[in-house]
Structure 1
């Protein structure tokens, strides 16, 4: 679960970089739910995995959390959130 969430977070980060380009901000509407699913996978990975092997799941949770926050900020700056 940790590896899946980490890879999910990396894909979300790459997608976030593309969505920061002007006129491609509509991608944030799809990016935020995508990263939220990755955060849920990471949370399950943290809950299921032993205490010594939670690093990948924690990194995935942090990456997906950053993507969610930046996506929301980008939407509110661009007027996408009413």
Structure 2
């Protein structure tokens, strides 16, 4: 059950992160990062690692995009 919740948080975060790759929408990553962290924590508490790993991949995409934009743009 926790793995499913982790996947749901990861998918919702991915829906936010994908448009945030467009220039001047990088601020949306700051909205997605707390959701991703919740997904990682839920994935860590579950018996399976798939949801956690998916959230970590989404987190890496968001963090790389934030670092390229200087944290804001």
Q: After TM superposition, where is structure 1 displaced by more than 4 Å over at least 4 residues in a row? A: none
- 1:48-63 aligned at under 5 Å gives the runs 54=48, 58-63=49-54
Displacement of 1:29 after TM fit?
1.1
Q: Deviations over 1:15-60 (max 9, x none)?
A: 11011121111011121121011100110113xxxxxxx2xxx221
RMSD over aligned Cα, in angstroms? 1.4
Task: Report what 2:39 is aligned to.
Answer: 38
Matched residues, number: 71
Task: Report what 1:73 is aligned to.
Answer: 64
TM-score, structure 1 normalization = 0.77
Task: Report what 1:64 is aligned to.
Answer: 55
Aligned to 2:46, the other structure's residue is in SS state helix
Counterpart-to-counterpart distance in 2, 1:80 and 1:25: 8
Is the 2:26–2:65 contact (alpha carbons within 8 Å) kept by the matching residues of 1?
yes
Q: Which runs of 5+ in 1 are unaligned?
A: 47-53
Task: Report what 2:5 is aligned to.
Answer: 4
TM-score, structure 2 normalization = 0.85
Structure ID, larger Rg: 1
